[in-house]
């Protein structure tokens, strides 16, 4: 039975990955930030009483800003596989908190690498790199596209990315960077644009909200479905040799197209509800992200199955259901027909 350690287990990807690994009979340990309130709602459905001898999910307080506890954790848990997903992951916020973002997202990765090296635990590492690192680089972006980061978040991720490669080359660590393009789900953080839009659609339908304030509607992203992406994280660590991969759908759509699709699916006219708020504009924007996923397809046989229209439907259906409203259900059907037997909750 393998042992995995996940940083960022309370986040969107961490929660799906924990679910996926538990279904594969792993024992899963997760790093959780201490807060004065509970914030484990994404993994509450996976909770197991640690006193139960059959428990396979264990949570540990710790912080990427605290190297001592990270090193202790390696001595204690001795993981076979480490999935490093913890980060200050919001691009807009990184402009307001650049040094904090550099500390947690950039240096936090180095603290983790040092914890592995100093503890001497032999494990494989997955690092959550990001398509945001491509920044101003022309699309489509692949493993060979040079990074041109345009935010403090992206610069911190570039640092983390190269440090992971450094430890791979310098210390022989089995470490892989997954350069993921945007991936979304009903568990997406509420302030990322897709979830902000789908939540607003449900609130407007319920009569609780009239207006949705957004920033740049022209930016284009390659949006995929998060559960598919966590499966690939696991597959990367099962390879015979460590390697970095780009993954995305290969399609790109504007924020405006997402708005139109989400409002339209719920029978609303977005023009009556969406307004610009300058606060959501960024000092520097990444205008166009579109993956070239041909390498991951060739080497790992991976291809995104859930595409833009189904992703929008999955997210809007989930939001309408949560609001107690009737949902068209096409997203649910796309989801049910999918390959996600391990998922216990969308």
**Which residues are known to be catalytic?**
130, 132, 153
Q: Report the nearest approach of ligand GDD to the CB of residue 277 (Å).
A: 7
Among 46, 115, 128, 306, binds ligand NAP (CB under 6 A): 128
Q: Does 249 bind ligand NAP (CB under 6 A)?
A: no
Q: What distance in Å separates the CA atoms of residue 325 and residue 303, rounded to the nearest whole number?
A: 33
Structure tokens at 178: 């997954």
Residues of span 86-115 touching ligand NAP by CB under 6 A: 86-89, 104
Among 3, 18, 22, 31, binds ligand NAP (CB under 6 A): 31
Cβ atoms 214, 257 nearer than 8 A = no
Q: Residue 57 phi/psi, 5° resolution?
A: -120, 125
Cβ atoms 203, 263 nearer than 8 A = no
Question: Which C-beta is closer to ligand GDD: that of 196 or that of 345?
Answer: 196
Cβ atoms 222, 184 nearer than 8 A = no
Run of H or E residues at 20: helix 12-23
Compute the half-sphere exposure of residue 39: CA atoms within 13 Å on the CB side of its CA.
Answer: 14
Q: What distance in Å separates the CA atoms of residue 234 and residue 79, rounded to the nearest whole number?
A: 14
The interface mask with ligand GDD, positions 75-104, x = CB under 6 A, is --------------x-xx------------
Task: Using CB under 6 A, count the residues that bind ligand GDD.
Answer: 22
Question: Which C-beta is closer to ligand GDD: that of 131 or that of 185?
Answer: 131
Among 191, 210, 284, 299, binds ligand GDD (CB under 6 A): 191
Structure tokens at 142: 């692949």
Q: Residue 42 phi/psi, 5° resolution?
A: -70, -20
The interface mask with ligand NAP, positions 186-215, x = CB under 6 A, is ---x--------------------------
Report the DSSP pairing between strands 253-254 and 220-221.
antiparallel
Residues of span 127-166 touching ligand GDD by CB under 6 A: 130-132
Q: Across 235-307, where does the E strand assignment appear?
A: 245-247, 253-254, 274-276
Residue with tokens 């166009």: 288
Q: Does 196 bind ligand GDD (CB under 6 A)?
A: yes
Q: Does 182 bind ligand GDD (CB under 6 A)?
A: yes
Q: Can you list the alpha helix ranges (DSSP code H) found in 211-307?
A: 226-237, 255-265, 294-300
Question: Which C-beta is closer to ligand NAP: that of 91 or that of 274?
Answer: 91
Q: Does 256 bind ligand GDD (CB under 6 A)?
A: no
Stretch that binds ligand GDD, among 27-35, 93-101, 203-211, 212-220 (CB under 6 A): 212-220
Q: Report the nearest approach of ligand NAP to the CB of residue 89 (Å).
A: 3
Q: Does 192 bind ligand GDD (CB under 6 A)?
A: yes
CA distances from residue 292 to 155, 161, 248, 296, 299 in whole angstroms, order as listed: 21, 19, 7, 9, 13
Q: Is the peptide bond before 326 cis (omega within 30 degrees of 0)?
A: no
Run of H or E residues at 225: strand 224-225
Interacting partner of 74 out of ligand NAP, ligand GDD, none (Cβ under 5 to 8 A depending on kind): none
Interacting partner of 285 out of ligand GDD, ligand NAP, none (Cβ under 5 to 8 A depending on kind): ligand GDD
Q: Does 227 bind ligand NAP (CB under 6 A)?
A: no
- Which residues lie near ligand NAP (CB under 6 A)? 7-8, 10-14, 31, 33, 39, 63-65, 85-89, 104, 128, 130, 180, 182-183, 189
- Which residues lie near ligand GDD (CB under 6 A)? 89, 91-92, 130-132, 181-182, 191-193, 196, 214-216, 219, 221, 255, 280, 282, 285, 289
């Amino acid at each position: 039975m393998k042992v995995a350690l996940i940083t960022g287990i309370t986040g969107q990807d961490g929660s799906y990955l924990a679910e996926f690994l538990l279904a594969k009979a792993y024992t899963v340990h997760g790093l959780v930030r201490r807060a004065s309130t509970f914030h484990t709602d994404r993994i509450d459905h996976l909770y197991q009483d640690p006193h139960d001898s059959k428990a396979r999910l264990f949570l540990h307080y710790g912080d990427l800003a605290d190297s001592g506890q990270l090193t202790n954790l390696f001595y204690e848990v001795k993981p076979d596989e480490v999935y490093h997903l913890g980060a200050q992951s919001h691009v807009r916020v990184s402009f307001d908190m650049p040094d904090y973002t550099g500390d947690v997202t950039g240096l936090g990765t180095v603290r983790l690498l040092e914890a592995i090296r100093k503890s001497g635990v032999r494990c494989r590492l997955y690092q959550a790199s990001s398509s945001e690192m491509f920044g101003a680089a022309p699309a489509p972006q692949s493993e060979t596209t040079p990074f041109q980061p345009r935010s403090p978040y992206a610069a911190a991720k570039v640092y983390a990315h190269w440090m992971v490669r450094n430890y791979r080359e310098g210390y022989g660590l089995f470490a892989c960077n997954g350069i993921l393009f945007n991936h979304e789900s009903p568990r997406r953080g509420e302030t990322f644009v897709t979830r902000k839009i789908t939540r607003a659609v449900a609130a407007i339908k319920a009569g609780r909200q009239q207006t949705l304030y957004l920033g740049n509607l022209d930016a284009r992203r390659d949006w995929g479905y998060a559960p598919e992406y966590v499966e690939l994280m696991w597959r990367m660590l099962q390879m015979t040799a460590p390697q970095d991969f780009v993954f995305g759908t290969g399609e790109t759509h504007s924020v405006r197209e997402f708005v139109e699709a989400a409002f339209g699916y719920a029978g609303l006219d977005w023009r009556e509800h969406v307004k610009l708020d300058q606060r959501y504009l960024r000092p520097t924007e990444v205008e166009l992200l579109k993956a070239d996923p041909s390498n991951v397809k060739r080497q790992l046989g991976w291809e995104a199955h859930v595409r833009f229209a189904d992703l929008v439907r999955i997210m809007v259906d989930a939001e309408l259901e949560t609001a107690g409203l009737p949902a068209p259900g096409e997203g649910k059907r796309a989801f049910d027909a999918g390959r996600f037997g391990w998922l216990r909750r969308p």
